[in-house]
Chains A and B, each alone.
Chain A
Amino acid sequence: MPPIARRISSGFRRSSSEGDRLKVDLSSLTLATAAERLRRRELSSAELTEAALERIAQTEPRLHAFLTVSADEARSQAAAADARLARGEPLSSLDGVPLALKDVFLTRGVRTTAASRILESFVPPYDGTAVARLRARGAVFVGKTNCDEFAMGSSTENSAFGSTRNPWDLERVPGGSSGGSAVAVAAGQCLGALGTDTGGSIRLPAAYCGVVGLKPTYGRVSRYGIVDYASSLDQVGPFARDVQGAAILLEALAGHDPLDSTSASADVPRYASTLRPELGALRVGVPREYFQEGMQPEVESSVREAIAVLESLGASVENVSLPHARYAVATYYLIATAEASSNLARYDGIRYGRRASGASNLLETYSRSREEGFGAEVKRRIMLGTYALSAGYYDAYYGKAQKVRTLVRRDFEQAFERCDVLVAPTAPTTAFALGEKLDDPLAMYLSDVLTISVNLAGLPALSLPCGVDGEGLPIGLQLIGKPFGEQALLGAGYAYEQATDWHRQRPEEPS
């Protein structure tokens, strides 16, 4: 096992001029322990929220995880939660818990930008379903987190408002696209966060930042009220310090939504309360295609060790094959960009968002608003997708990609005939340096090589910490489940956490 570098067991120390009262330290809490202490009234939501806001104020100059900090709203939500908790009438176990939202979640009255100039001053008139569900359960929203523009990217460097930095090494990317949410959880700026995952956008930053990230089954959580990237691939999911936190959030988020025709009506299990430390008779499959040449050796060794841990807990392990995995990235970049080119057509400067000034006719209004409003990567994907859907090219690109997508899905179906979960690394490497892949889109696209197939197949997948590399950077373990098999994933992840303590690591106080 590699040495655990930079590990601080007791959280951050800070000098307090107020002296007598020990301040709440968010990094010593998990979502579940915070919720428990709120319920027992050992802590107030106001205290938790102030601690989060203070932590944000202290660390943001270095991390830049947030695009908007909604301190006033958070304080009034916390006060309302405290009033309910004082009456003994909490709305849920999330009542009063400070959370952060990727800035693609529409929040009524709070600016939502998708990290794009084109929505720089857009204030939504409505809450999306995921936000509404958390709000109805009493959650406190401390702010909106940075991400790649329109969730397009793997490093959060494509944000129109500057990169987010990895708290484990400020010269490295946090992963993307939901980088800000992963960082906010890793750096103790909140107790949990929401992201979206279209090709790995929750799992990759979770792996790079050493937190737990869950991409649920397509349709498990409503997509209503998230800024769309690729409709058939996008899925909402949680970040937390540990599996239990992710389970609590999923339980709040999951379920059919009449406003999303692609949301599933499958029953929602009690994800959090059914977690058990024992693994039971789990059949684990190891896809050989996911351990490829060029993988960082420490990533492979950590994941192999994790598989050994699962085996020691009673799992049976066998090798499986996903023969079409190598086509996944190409397939994804046709389907996702095609859908994106269509979904982003509405940003035309007419009804809301940025409108170029001084245009002399309609065409100019369109082209200049979009020229000024969209960043380079978004434009690249709109052009790719427009091409893929063009008359004469549709069959060769979009049509073909849909066929390959079916083959990718079938690979998984066959693998799942013999096992319950698949285990793989979340990414081939640990976090890369800021700027390293910015000028090489293909290299950037390949960061998602191990996460993308899951979106094409619509499956759930969990990323959780399973080690660190020689530089002390976190390594992510990816568990992939059957459709609506979140419970099995969370169960396996939870049992793994009970046997290891990778999830207890925290980045050193950034200085």
Chain B
Amino acid sequence: MKPTDWTHVFKNYPGMWVVFKEDQKTVVSASKSAKKAVDEAKKLGVKIPFLFKVPVESLPYVGGFSSIE
């Protein structure tokens, strides 16, 4: 399997919520608001909108969250 190329997503939508089709590649709608992006996708006939928040800057990532309480 080849990786799914999200270069276009990070280049065109930094800081925005995007909705993908189920192919996880095609951007259907984008907005600063998750709800607006979902509403727009539903208007366009997308049954299950897949949301993704595009990072503002695309930098190396080292994550991990642990619970304190």
- Please indicate whether A and B come from the same complex rather than being unrelated chains: no
Give A contacts to B, CB under 8 Å: none
B residues near A (Cβ < 8 Å) are: none
